[in-house]
Amino acid sequence: TKYLTKTKAFEGLPKLSDFKIVEEDIEENLADGEILTEVVCISVDPFIRVYPFPPGIPVIGFQVAKVLASKNEKYQKGNLVMHFGGWKTICKVADSSCWYRVDNVLSKEDITQGVGVLGMPGMTAYFGFLDLCQPKEGETVMVNGCAGAVGSLVGQIAKIKGCKVVGCCGSDEKIAFAKSLGFDEVFNYKTEKSWPEAIKRCAPNGIDCFFDNVGGQLASDIINQMNTKGRIACCGSISSYNSKTPMQGDIVQPAMVSKQLKMEGFVINEDRFKPRHPEGVKQMSQWIKEGKIKVRETVTEGFENTPKAFIGMLSGDNIGKAVVRVN
Task: Count helices and strands (H / E) in the chain.
Answer: 10, 15
Residues in the chain: 327
Question: Which of the residues 292 through 321 are near ligand NDP (CB under 6 A)?
Answer: 313-314, 316, 318
Question: Which of the residues 123 through 182 are near ligand NDP (CB under 6 A)?
Answer: 124, 145, 147-151, 169-171, 174
Closer residue to ligand NDP in complex, CB, 90/209: 209
Of 178, 214, 261, 293, the one binding ligand NDP by CB under 6 A: 214
Round to the nearest angstrom and report the end-to-end CA distance of the chain. Answer: 14
Closer residue to ligand NDP in complex, CB, 125/326: 125
Closer residue to ligand NDP in complex, CB, 75/129: 129
Beta bridge partners of 53: none
Cβ–Cβ < 8 Å for 242, 274? no
Supply the minimum distance, in Å, between the C-beta of residue 321 and ligand NDP: 6
Supply the minimum distance, in Å, between the C-beta of residue 28 and ligand NDP: 33
| Residue 203 binds to ligand NDP (criterion: CB under 6 A) | no
Closer residue to ligand NDP in complex, CB, 16/267: 267
Of 13, 47, 53, 131, the one binding ligand NDP by CB under 6 A: 47
Q: Which of 98, 136, 152 is nearest to 288 (CA)?
A: 152
Q: Which of 115, 112, 4 is nearest to 53 (CA)?
A: 4
Closer residue to ligand NDP in complex, CB, 85/151: 151
| Residue 268 binds to ligand NDP (criterion: CB under 6 A) | yes
Distance CA 257, CA 262 (A): 9
Supply the minimum distance, in Å, between the C-beta of residue 276 and ligand NDP: 13
- Alpha-carbon separation of residue 172 from 4, 168, 319, 320 (angstroms): 34, 10, 11, 14
**For the chain, how big is the Rg over CA atoms in Å?**
20
Beta bridge partners of 6: 19
Alpha helices in 61-215 (DSSP H): 120-123, 149-160, 172-180, 195-202
Question: Which of the residues 90 through 129 are near ligand NDP (CB under 6 A)?
Answer: 120-121, 124
Closer residue to ligand NDP in complex, CB, 147/281: 147
Supply the minimum distance, in Å, between the C-beta of residue 35 and ligand NDP: 25
Cβ–Cβ < 8 Å for 60, 48? yes
Give the binding-site size for ligand NDP (rule: CB under 6 A): 30
Cβ–Cβ < 8 Å for 166, 143? yes
Residues that bind ligand NDP (CB under 6 A): 45-47, 120-121, 124, 145, 147-151, 169-171, 174, 213-214, 235-236, 238-239, 266-268, 313-314, 316, 318, 322
